[in-house]
Structure formats: structure tokens, C-alpha cells
């Protein structure tokens, strides 16, 4: 099944601002960790405005058996997970 997981955090709390946060991101998205989680990251996109008062948003397109597998992968990071389908499949039903 295909899902979009969305993560949001304030710019001032971005994990990329600390070495520990950078290391956490590297480990989380390592090929080994992704493989062990039983998921496939199809795409990952970030909206990181330069404004320190802004909100950063991450959008992750993930192939996984269910939502719970994705939430387990992200661990303590809060993510909103939604199942999605290619629009081409939806358009065929119109």
C-alpha cells in the first residue's frame, strides 16, 4: 500500500540545527534501517523556509503494509499518515 507521511516542526526546532539531530536523521533514513523496517521510501520532500518563525514540513511517500509500520519507523517523531493512490487510478473510476 502507498502512504504519505507528513511531519511538521517549528524552524527553530529543526533537527538539522544540531549534530545529534543530523546523526538521528542519517540513522533513521539509512538503507539498513529502511530495509529492516520493511518499508520503501519512494520519495521524500521538505519545505524548509529560511524564516526562523516558519514551520518546516516533510512529506514522505512510503510503500508499506500498513500505517502502523510507518509510525513505528518514525518512532517518537510525530507524523500524520494517509493512504494514497495514484490519481490515474482514481480518474479511471470517474
Q: Quick one: cell of 13?
A: 526546532
Report d(CA 6, CA 44) in Å as an integer.
Answer: 10
pLDDT band at 49 (very low <50, low <70, confident <90, very high): confident
Outline where 1-94 has alpha helix (H).
19-28, 31-37, 67-74, 87-91
Domains in the chain: how many in total?
A: 1
Q: How many residues appear in the chain?
A: 94
**Digit-coded pLDDT (tens) for 2-46:** 999 999 999 999 999 999 999 999 999 999 999 999 999 999 999
For residue 83, give the CATH number of its domain.
Answer: 3.30.70.260
| Selection from 56, 53, 71 nearest residue 16 by Cα | 56
pTM score of the predicted model: 0.88
Domain that holds residue 50: 2-91
Amino acid at each position: 500500500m502507498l502512504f504519505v507521511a507528513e511531519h511538521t516542526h517549528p524552524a527553530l526546532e529543526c533537527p538539522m540545527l544540531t549534530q545529534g539531530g543530523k546523526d538521528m536523521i542519517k540513522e533513521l533514513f539509512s538503507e539498513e534501517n529502511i530495509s529492516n523496517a520493511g518499508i520503501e521510501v519512494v520519495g521524500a520532500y521538505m519545505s524548509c523556509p529560511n524564516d526562523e518563525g516558519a514551520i518546516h514540513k516533510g512529506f514522505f511517500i512510503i510503500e508499506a503494509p500498513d500505517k502502523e509500520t510507518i509510525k513505528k519507523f518514525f518512532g517518537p517523531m510525530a507524523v500524520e499518515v494517509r493512504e494514497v493512490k495514484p490519481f490515474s487510478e482514481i480518474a479511471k473510476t470517474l
